[in-house]
């Protein structure tokens, strides 16, 4: 004979939390749905009735009641999922950000500003971090940094010796005399 899934005795704190979460409109929808399952079970409803009322499968209702019975309110949250481990350690990510915020001149490099290719080459050769330029851009964006915001078309150049390196300007077109009408 199959056993009925019964909700364990619920504490007053858990009852208040579930009563607050079940009708919530600002909490995540998954948590609200799980709290509703527990609330209906707390009111004495059986698994098939809860599944029918909430439009979920009986397996889903059983899963969340079992997790609540085992872990309480913490059981209503998402469990950690398996996945690919992070490619870069927090220390390596920190080195990428630190290098991008450091002026190349300060590191003894022969250029005045970073490009993603230059930064990738520096990190690969000097810091021994095997990283591609696309990943550097993702890391910087995740840290809230915008690439190349320090240099603008009309603003000050990043390289202070730019004028000396550029040399004398030559006019590309001759000046036309102004005609008086």
Give the Cα separation of 105 and 176 in Å (integer).
42
pLDDT, tens digit, 9 for 90 and up, residues 80-100: 888 888 889 999 999 999 999
Give the single-character DSSP code of 107.
Answer: G
Over residues 48-55, mean pLDDT? 94
Give the single-character DSSP code of 150.
Answer: S
Higher per-residue pLDDT: 157 or 29:
29
pLDDT, tens digit, 9 for 90 and up, residues 117-173: 999 999 999 999 999 999 999 999 988 887 765 554 455 556 677 777 777 766 665
pLDDT value of position 111: 83
Over residues 36-46, mean pLDDT? 94
On the question of pLDDT at 1 being above 50, the answer is no
pLDDT value of position 80: 84
Average the pLDDT over each of 13-27, 32-46, 163-177 and give the range with the smallest value: 163-177
With cut-offs at 50, 70 and 90, classify the pLDDT of residue 63: very high
Give the Cα separation of 33 and 64 in Å (integer).
10
Q: Which of 23, 18, 17, 4 is nearest to 62 (CA)?
A: 4
pLDDT, tens digit, 9 for 90 and up, residues 110-130: 888 888 899 999 999 999 999
Tokens of 7: 């909700």
Give the single-character DSSP code of 74.
Answer: G
């Amino acid at each position: 004979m199959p056993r009925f899934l019964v909700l364990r005795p619920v504490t007053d704190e858990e009852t208040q939390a579930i009563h607050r979460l079940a009708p919530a409109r600002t909490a995540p929808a998954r948590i609200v749905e799980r709290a509703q399952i527990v609330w209906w079970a707390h009111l004495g409803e059986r698994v098939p009735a809860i599944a029918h009322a909430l439009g979920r499968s009986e397996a889903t209702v059983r899963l969340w009641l079992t997790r609540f019975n085992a872990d309480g309110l913490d059981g209503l949250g998402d469990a950690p999922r398996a996945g690919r481990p992070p490619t870069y350690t927090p220390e390596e990510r920190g080195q990428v950000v630190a290098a991008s915020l450091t002026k190349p001149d300060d590191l003894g490099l022969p250029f005045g500003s970073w490009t993603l290719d230059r930064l990738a080459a520096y990190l690969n050769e000097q810091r021994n971090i095997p990283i591609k330029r696309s990943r550097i851009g993702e890391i910087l964006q995740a840290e809230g940094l915008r690439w190349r915001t320090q240099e603008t078309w009309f603003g000050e150049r990043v390289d202070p010796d730019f004028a000396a390196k550029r040399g004398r300007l030559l006019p590309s077109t001759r000046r036309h005399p102004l005609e008086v009408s």
